[in-house]
Structure 1
Amino acid sequence: MHLGSGSVVPSRTEFTPTGSPRPSRPGQIDPGLIEGIAGGADPSVVSEMSHASAAALLDRVHHSADPQVVERVLTLVDREGVDMIAELWSRSEPDSLPGIMWRLYTLRSWMRRDRDLISRLWRLGEPVATAASAIAGVDQAPTEADITHTADSILAGAFTGDFAVALERASAFVDVVAQGLRVEARHMVRQAEAKAGSETATAADLAEAHVMRSRSAKLMHTAGNLIATSKDFRHGAQLWRRGKLD
Structure 2
Amino acid sequence: MSTSSSGSVHAAGSGFAPARLGASRPARPAQLDPALVNQIAGGVDPEQLSDLAHSTAASLLDRVHHTEDPEVVRRVLTLVDMEGVDLVAELWSHAEPDSLPGILWRLYMLRTWMTRDRESISRLWRMGEPVATAASAIAGVDQAPTEDDIARTADSILSGAFTGDFAVALERASAFCDVIVAGIAAEAKRRNAYLEHRTDGHAQRAAIARMLHHAASLRQSAEDFRHGAILWRRGKLE
Amino acid at match of 1:86: A
Partner of 1:71: 74
Amino acid at match of 1:42: D
Identity %: 64
CA shift at 1:122, angstroms?
Answer: 0.3
CA shift at 1:14, angstroms?
Answer: 6.4
Partner of 1:181: 184
> If the length of structure 1 is used for normalisation, what is the TM-score?
0.84
The question of 1:245 aligning with 2:237 is answered yes
Partner of 2:222: 230
Change over 3 Å in CA distance of 1:47–1:14 after alignment to 2: farther
User: Counterparts of 1:183 and 1:114 in 2: how far apart (Å)?
Assistant: 18
Conserved in 2, the CA contact under 8 Å of 1:126 and 1:176? yes
User: Counterparts of 1:133 and 1:223 in 2: how far apart (Å)?
Assistant: 19
User: Structure 1: which 5+ runs fail to align?
Assistant: 16-24, 197-205
SS in structure 1 at match of 2:95? coil
Larger radius of gyration: 1
Partner of 1:219: 211
CA shift at 1:13, angstroms?
Answer: 5.1
User: Counterparts of 1:84 and 1:13 in 2: how far apart (Å)?
Assistant: 15
Partner of 1:202: none
RMSD (Å), alpha carbons: 2.3
User: Counterparts of 1:111 and 1:13 in 2: how far apart (Å)?
Assistant: 15
Change over 3 Å in CA distance of 1:123–1:159 after alignment to 2: same
SS in structure 2 at match of 1:95? coil
Partner of 1:98: 101
Amino acid at match of 2:131: V
Decide which of 113, 136, 147 is 1:133's aligned counterpart.
136
User: Structure 2: which 5+ runs fail to align?
Assistant: 13-27
User: Counterparts of 2:33 and 2:189 in 1: how far apart (Å)?
Assistant: 47
Conserved in 1, the CA contact under 8 Å of 2:9 and 2:106? no
SS in structure 2 at match of 1:127? coil
Listed as ranges, the matches of 1:20-99 within 5 Å are: 27-99=30-102
Change over 3 Å in CA distance of 1:123–1:217 after alignment to 2: same
SS in structure 1 at match of 2:220? helix
CA displacement, residues 89-119 of structure 1 (integer Å, 9 cap, x when unaligned): 0010000000000000010011111101100
